């Protein structure tokens, strides 16, 4: 069977979407014994990992998505005689083969105020159309599945949950010299609390900064705060909050980091905090657990499904709960150790090999 996969997010620093497709394809190619031919479609020439050379790489033109999606992709798939294709979120209106679509979440439907108005309107138009048009829909949590069924009236037997996995690179590292070497560019000379996620309102980082500032003012916490993520829609409010409290010296913003740097940051952090208001999955939760970092995260959306019993769960709308949890986790060694061990076990539940096998099976049935 000829499988076509849209990889336009690879190299685009689209965080979760790119992490998903890279790890999924890597696991697919590693386990394939010649049953399938893989065709990967990129939209611009970017450096690809060597393991992708096992597949056929195609460049789809033009780069403009308004032309590439309705015209470029169908022509390329037809030329390669693809039996079934895999896309994320948006599919061409006319396809020469069945298509399976991954819809990670529909946060733009429930928190429209957190999105650029033009992008939001485009998603509200194209994503439900794509989901209904697809032979099958994939999503990353039971929570997202329920929302997609309810919002878009997708039949339950047409949508499957294939959880994200944890890449092997995310692991507990004891080599202090390696950690120091990787992290020297960030100038982190104090113990720190880590938050990972694009700087946007949905991630609730503004609240985290405010609570952190109050704890420092009361001398209840001495850790620095490290924020990892790219600037997104309305992200400037987070920087304003840092300046408002005069804590620029103690809050580090790194921007985008690569996986090696992220592994080092998880390992060096004393606490990982993820107070998001909404997630379809929440990859950083299990990545940090795999690295041995105790986690504070939210008790909403898909997050309890992913974190299980291995994190301190809080109401993300409560400053007090966030504050209390931060103080507990930086001061209670026994609690830290307990969450670290539970986190290792929880992270092992999410395996890209299993995800890839489930996905290939669904693609075969759809084709």
**Is the dihedral angle over the CA atoms 180, 185, 188, 192 positive or is it negative?**
negative
Q: How far out from the chain centre does Cα 27 lie?
A: 17
CATH number at residue 43: 3.40.50.2000
Q: How far out from the chain centre does Cα 357 lie?
A: 20
Q: What is the pLDDT of residue 13?
A: 65
Same domain, yes or no, for 305 and 224?
yes
Q: What is the pLDDT of residue 205?
A: 96
- The alpha carbons of the chain give a radius of gyration, in whole angstroms, of 21
Token pair belonging to 293 = 């970092």
Same domain, yes or no, for 183 and 304?
yes
Number of neighbours of residue 33 by Cβ within 10 angstroms: 5
Same domain, yes or no, for 283 and 195?
yes
Query: SS3 string of 237-285?
Result: HHHHHHHHCCCCCCEEEEECCCHHHHHHHHHHCCEEEECCCCCCCCHHH
Cis (ω within 30 of 0) for the bond into 62? Answer: yes
Look at residue 191 and tell me if it is in a domain. yes
Same domain, yes or no, for 206 and 233?
yes
Token pair belonging to 130 = 């794509």
The model's pLDDT over 290-310, given as tens digits with 9 standing for 90+, comes to 999 999 999 999 999 999 999
Phi/psi region, residue 169 (left: phi>0; alpha: psi -120 to 50; beta: rest), is alpha
Query: Which residues, in sequence order, are bridge partners of residue 227?
Result: 195, 253
Range(s) of the domain holding residue 276: 176-347
Same domain, yes or no, for 260 and 153?
no
Residue with tokens 């759809």: 366
Same domain, yes or no, for 181 and 269?
yes
Same domain, yes or no, for 42 and 133?
yes
d(CA 265, CA 259): 10
User: Residue 113 — φ and ψ, nearest 5°?
Assistant: -70, -15
Sites in the chain below the pLDDT cut of 50: none
Look at residue 325 and tell me if it is in a domain. yes
The model's pLDDT over 299-354, given as tens digits with 9 standing for 90+, comes to 999 999 999 999 999 999 999 999 999 999 999 999 999 999 999 999 999 999 99
Length of the chain: 367
Q: What is the pLDDT of residue 231?
A: 87
Q: For residue 228, what is the enclosing H or E element?
A: strand 224-228
Q: What is the pLDDT of residue 12?
A: 67
Look at residue 187 and tell me if it is in a domain. yes
| Average pLDDT for the chain | 95
Q: What is the pLDDT of residue 232?
A: 83
Same domain, yes or no, for 93 and 17?
yes
Q: In sequence order, what DSSP letters do the residues of 129-160 get, joined into one string? A: HHHHHSSEEEES-HHHHHHHHHHH---GGGEE
What percent of the chain is modeled with pLDDT above 70? 99
Same domain, yes or no, for 337 and 201?
yes
Q: For residue 175, what is the enclosing H or E element?
A: none
Same domain, yes or no, for 126 and 200?
no
Number of neighbours of residue 30 by Cβ within 10 angstroms: 12
Cα angle for residues 111, 117, 121 (degrees, 5° grid): 85
d(CA 363, CA 34): 16
Look at residue 93 and tell me if it is in a domain. yes
Look at residue 170 and tell me if it is in a domain. no
Phi/psi region, residue 204 (left: phi>0; alpha: psi -120 to 50; beta: rest), is left
The model's pLDDT over 268-291, given as tens digits with 9 standing for 90+, comes to 999 999 999 999 999 999 999 999
Same domain, yes or no, for 126 and 197?
no
Look at residue 65 and tell me if it is in a domain. yes
Specify the pTM: 0.94
Q: What is the C-alpha end-to-end distance of the chain, expressed in Å?
A: 8
What percent of the chain is modeled with pLDDT above 90? 88
Total count of domains within the chain: 2
Q: What is the pLDDT of residue 277?
A: 97
Look at residue 63 and tell me if it is in a domain. yes
Same domain, yes or no, for 112 and 206?
no
Q: What is the pLDDT of residue 367?
A: 87
Look at residue 171 and tell me if it is in a domain. no
């Amino acid at each position: 069977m000829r499988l076509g996969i849209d990889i336009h997010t690879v190299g685009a620093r689209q965080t979760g979407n790119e992490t998903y497709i890279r790890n999924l394809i890597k696991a697919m190619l590693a386990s394939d014994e010649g049953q399938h031919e893989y065709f990967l479609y990129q939209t611009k020439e970017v450096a690809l990992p060597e393991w992708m050379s096992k597949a056929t790489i195609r460049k789809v033109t033009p780069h403009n998505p308004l032309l590439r999606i309705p015209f470029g992709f169908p022509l390329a798939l037809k030329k390669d005689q693809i039996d079934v294709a895999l896309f994320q979120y948006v599919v061409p209106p006319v396809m020469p083969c069945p298509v399976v679509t991954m819809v990670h979440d529909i946060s733009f439907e429930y928190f429209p105020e957190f999105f650029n108005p033009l992008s939001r309107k485009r998603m509200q138009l194209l994503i439900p159309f794509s989901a209904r048009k697809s032979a099958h829909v994939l999503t990353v949590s039971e929570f997202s599945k329920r929302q997609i069924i309810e919002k878009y009236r997708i039949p339950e037997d047409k949508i499957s949950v294939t959880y994200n996995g944890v890449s092997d690179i995310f692991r507990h590292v004891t080599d202090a010299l390696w950690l120091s070497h990787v992290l020297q560019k960030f100038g982190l000379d104090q113990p720190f609390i880590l938050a990972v996620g694009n700087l946007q309102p949905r991630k609730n980082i503004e609240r985290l900064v405010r609570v952190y500032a109050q704890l420092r003012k009361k001398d209840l916490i001495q850790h620095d705060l490290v924020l990892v993520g790219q600037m997104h829609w309305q992200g400037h409010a987070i920087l304003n909050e840092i300046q408002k409290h005069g804590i620029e010296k103690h809050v580090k913003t790194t921007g985008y980091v690569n996986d090696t740097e992220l592994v080092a940051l998880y390992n060096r952090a004393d606490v990982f905090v993820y107070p998001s208001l909404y997630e379809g999955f929440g990859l950083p939760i299990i990545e940090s657990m795999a690295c041995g970092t105790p986690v504070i995260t939210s008790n909403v959306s898909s997050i309890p499904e992913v974190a299980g019993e291995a994190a301190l769960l809080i109401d993300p709308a409560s400053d007090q709960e966030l504050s209390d949890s931060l103080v507990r986790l930086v001061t209670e060694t026994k609690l830290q150790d307990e969450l670290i061990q539970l986190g290792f076990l929880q992270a092992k539940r999410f395996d890209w090999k299993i995800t890839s096998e489930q996905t290939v099976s669904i693609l075969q049935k759809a084709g």
